[in-house]
Chain A
Amino acid sequence: MYDVWQNVLAEIEQQISAANFSTWFQDTSLISTDNNRIIIGVKNSFYVKQLRARYLDLISTALRNNNIKVENIDFEVQSIPKLKSRSREIVKSPKQITERIKTIKTRASSTENHNNGLNNKYTLDNFVIGSNNELAVAAAKSIIASPGTRYNPFFLYGGPGLGKTHLVQAIGNELIKNNPDYKIFYTPISHFYSDFIDAIQSGKGKDFNRKFQKLDCLIIDDFQFIVNKEKSQEEFFNIFNDLYQLNKQIIVTSDRLPSQIKTVDERLASRLTWAGAFDLQLPKFEDKCAILRAKAELMGVDIEPEAIEYIAENVNTNIRDLEGEFSTILLMSEVRGLTPLELIKNGSVNVSRASKLRPVSSKQAVEKVAKYYNLATKDLQSKSRVSNIKNARQVAMYILSKELNLSTNKIASEVGVKDHTTVMHGIKKIEKDLKLNFALRDQIEEIKEKIYG
């Protein structure tokens, strides 16, 4: 197409003055000739008007002479910014990824809402699989292949922003894709109980469970908010039993195990985890890099691998924060005209603030930990081996290490232990306990809040 246009231009050039030619035709281009509709790209609307008014005949004759059929000619403003070539490293994305992204984009744009609570921007294709979630994803795939069998109920838990909602919505979307008649209902538990209350108030409490009985799959999100809602819990328990009897798939997410949610009935708690409980963990460094790379692909932006590594290394909270920081940096980069890596290097962005918050002294931190466990600071710093004091001391070590980035030697002197090996042991122990012990996880979150708040 380009060559044809050069021929056309050469022909026009011979027929009009050099001044007119260079003014009006210099930056033109041929955008499309589809269906004999010619679209010519020009610099701005001043050019459109002039070309249309004065040179239309000339252009169409020249096009015909070059064997292009012309029905009508349109002009489109197409600025050609003469960019200084920035030395950005552009890694061509492998074709399959771009195609995958395309399908994701088109699918996302054709939002059809079946009133089932699902948002079809959440798919398995755009869920990045890593060591932190591969078990849960495997189970999810098995559910998609044969719902209501092996992993029923499917109980998924993990901290905020780790992708629980994404994964369960993706299951729902895939199930519908495989079988459009499949009846699915997704609801956060908060909507469940507010609907239930509405039903009771309008005297239809008894009919409430009817709309659930016809379902093939029920997805309940953020189950932990069921706390202190005994009536709703009972209603849910009944619906759960009905659906379970009929081998319908039930999917529940929560930020912790059911047995750790206060006031959840033991019968319900044990039922929810009949088929096992799957957790989504904090992504490791490599997983975070993979997530950011996938996100960059999806947004169609180029970002240096070093920049991705920097962000991945410094955001330690969750995936939502990770993606948030990532898009902030991209925005800054767009505005400042620097690449993300240049921004990071000249200190214009400060990623670690999300996970580090404001500075506190090590003394304050130790005091807060001691106070949280109702101990005197000097008890915590003593040599006592009493288990609650020892535990508090280890939590203090953990916080000094993770939040204040102190060296193990420095920590040793802050909490009054002999040497850094004790500190290393203590931190390791807390890290290990954190994986299983949700009470400890909550305690540490609360302590952090106290320290920073």
Chain B
Amino acid sequence: MKIKVTQEKLSKALNNISRIAVGKVTLPILNNVLIRVDNKKVSLITTNLDMAIIDFLPVSSSEDGVVTVPAKLLAEFVSNLPKGETIEISSKDTKVTITAGKYSSVINGTLADDFPELPEINEKNAIIYKMGIDEFKTSVNQVSIASSNDLSRPALTGVYFNTNKNTLAIAATDGYRLTEKKLIEKVESEVAAIVPSSSLQEVLRSINDEMEEIEISFNDDLVRFRLGEIEIISKLIDASFPDYQRLIPKDNNISVALNREELSRVTKLAALFARSVGGSIICETTTPDTFSVKSIANEFGENDSKLEAKVDKAGKVNLNSRFLLDALNALEETEINFSFSDHVAPILLTNKKSDKYTHIIMPLSS
């Protein structure tokens, strides 16, 4: 096996794919990157058995062959080589020689036989969606803040891709809040799949400025993301996601339009005093036309900030300030809608104009 490639390209690829090649002590080969040249096509592959990252590296010249090398070591070695050098990697049995100008080293690799076979998407019955990569990135960021890391409830540790009335949406919940973003309208095929949040984070990290489109393909228990030269394959979480549409409140009777930044500022103020009570703050509407955010910390004092807003109905609700700040960061527009109910019901936060993103927070009991 032999490849020739510039330092920049190789370093970028290795840094990206080596992130998941760590930590499996049970099977040391998983710390390695598989370098395969097949019919002049070069691919670099790492896997942690929950997901795999494949980078189809464009190279200037190559000879077929396959070998595995410790991923971290190779990545660090390459990234410390001077930029602009052309690097040549060649292997003889398990000895891998890397040369770049006057630098040269030999790394003890392993035969590729033990490297796991990767599952493949069955193109025939795959469900495939395509969308702009920037919107995908924003949307996943907006939604995945609500996903849980409680491994005892696997369904909530992922982001739920689902179709409802011909719209593809993603949703996540940790039991205290729930997020939903509509991705594509008028899709023809249906899907209901939970993609692990950890895999999605890797997808986001693999995105660079040159990429424009992402292709997402689903099989029964597998998902594949294609972005530029990179393919990421991940398992799906085998669990059923709650029927979350029913949790989105439909009849909240108190609704106010607020300036997002102002609300964010007063929430931060209130949060300072709310530390001793687990971040619990009170949002209150009073007629005529005041929205206030309060918090009380017995030992430090208390805080009460007022915002001007059109208020039809008085009411108040307790909620966690951290969750509210997360939600405000995820919302995009200057004006947002904040709605709640005078009986116990989730708080609904949306952009004033666009209805694509929905963020709900469970109130705290007062």
Tell me the minimal C-beta distance from A385 to chain B in angstroms: 40
Q: B344 is contacted by which of A47, A54, A78, A350 (Cβ under 8 Å)?
A: A350
Main secondary structure of the interface of A (DSSP, over half): helix
Considering the complex, which residues of chain A in the window 321-371 have a beta carbon less than 8 Å from any beta carbon of chain B?
Answer: 328, 331-332, 334-337, 346-350, 353, 358
Contact between chains at A335 and B237 (CB < 8 Å): no
**Chain A residues proximal to chain B, CB less than 8 Å:** 19-20, 22-23, 43-50, 52-54, 77-79, 81-84, 328, 331-332, 334-337, 346-350, 353, 358
Considering the complex, which residues of chain B in the window 89-130 have a beta carbon less than 8 Å from any beta carbon of chain A?
Answer: 114, 116-120
Contact between chains at A54 and B151 (CB < 8 Å): no
Q: B119 is contacted by which of A49, A332, A346 (Cβ under 8 Å)?
A: A49
B150: chain A residues at CB < 8 Å are 337
Contact between chains at B247 and A335 (CB < 8 Å): yes
A337: chain B residues at CB < 8 Å are 150, 152-153, 156, 175
| Measured CA separation A279–B32 after assembly (Å) | 75
Q: B221 is contacted by which of A45, A84, A328 (Cβ under 8 Å)?
A: A45
A-B pairs, 6 with minimum CB distance? A347-B365, A44-B235, A350-B344, A79-B238, A49-B119, A53-B117
Contact between chains at A78 and B116 (CB < 8 Å): no
Tell me the minimal C-beta distance from B87 to chain A in angstroms: 30
Tell me the minimal C-beta distance from B49 to chain A in angstroms: 5
| Measured CA separation A335–B155 after assembly (Å) | 10
Contact between chains at A46 and B49 (CB < 8 Å): yes
B237: chain A residues at CB < 8 Å are 79
Contact between chains at A20 and B238 (CB < 8 Å): no
Contact between chains at B235 and A46 (CB < 8 Å): yes
Q: B50 is contacted by which of A44, A83, A332 (Cβ under 8 Å)?
A: A44
A46-B154 contact given A19-B26, A331-B247, CB 8 Å threshold: no
Contact between chains at A54 and B238 (CB < 8 Å): no
B116: chain A residues at CB < 8 Å are 46, 49-50
Binary contact readout B228-245 vs A (1 if CB under 8 angstroms, 0 otherwise): 000000011111001110
Q: B49 is contacted by which of A23, A52, A335, A350 (Cβ under 8 Å)?
A: A23
> Does B250 count as interface, using CB distance less than 8 angstroms?
no
Q: B239 is contacted by which of A52, A53, A81, A336 (Cβ under 8 Å)?
A: A81
B178: chain A residues at CB < 8 Å are 335
Tell me the minimal C-beta distance from B153 to chain A in angstroms: 5
| Measured CA separation A358–B314 after assembly (Å) | 13
Contact between chains at B152 and A84 (CB < 8 Å): yes
Q: B244 is contacted by which of A46, A53, A82, A335 (Cβ under 8 Å)?
A: A335
B28: chain A residues at CB < 8 Å are 19
A347-B238 contact given A19-B26, A46-B49, A335-B175, CB 8 Å threshold: no
Considering the complex, which residues of chain B in the window 36-60 have a beta carbon less than 8 Å from any beta carbon of chain A?
Answer: 47, 49-50, 52
Contact between chains at B50 and A350 (CB < 8 Å): no
A347-B344 contact given A19-B26, A48-B119, CB 8 Å threshold: yes
Query: Please, which residue of chain A has its CB at the minimum distance from the CB of B343?
Result: A353
Considering the complex, which residues of chain B in the window 117-176 have a beta carbon less than 8 Å from any beta carbon of chain A?
Answer: 117-120, 150-154, 156, 173, 175-176
> Does B246 count as interface, using CB distance less than 8 angstroms?
yes
Q: A331 is contacted by which of B52, B235, B246 (Cβ under 8 Å)?
A: B246
| Measured CA separation A346–B366 after assembly (Å) | 10
Query: Please, which residue of chain B has its CB at the minimum distance from the CB of A54?
Result: B117
> Does B362 count as interface, using CB distance less than 8 angstroms?
yes
If A54-B117, A336-B362 are given as contacts, then 20 extra A-B residue pairs at C-beta distance below 8 Å, sorted by A number, are A22-B26, A22-B27, A43-B49, A44-B238, A46-B49, A46-B118, A49-B117, A49-B120, A52-B117, A78-B238, A79-B238, A81-B152, A81-B153, A334-B242, A336-B175, A337-B175, A346-B365, A347-B365, A348-B365, A349-B344
* 18 pairs from A and B in contact (CB 8 Å cutoff): A19-B27, A23-B27, A23-B49, A43-B49, A44-B50, A44-B238, A45-B219, A46-B116, A49-B118, A49-B120, A77-B238, A79-B237, A82-B151, A82-B152, A331-B246, A331-B247, A336-B362, A348-B365
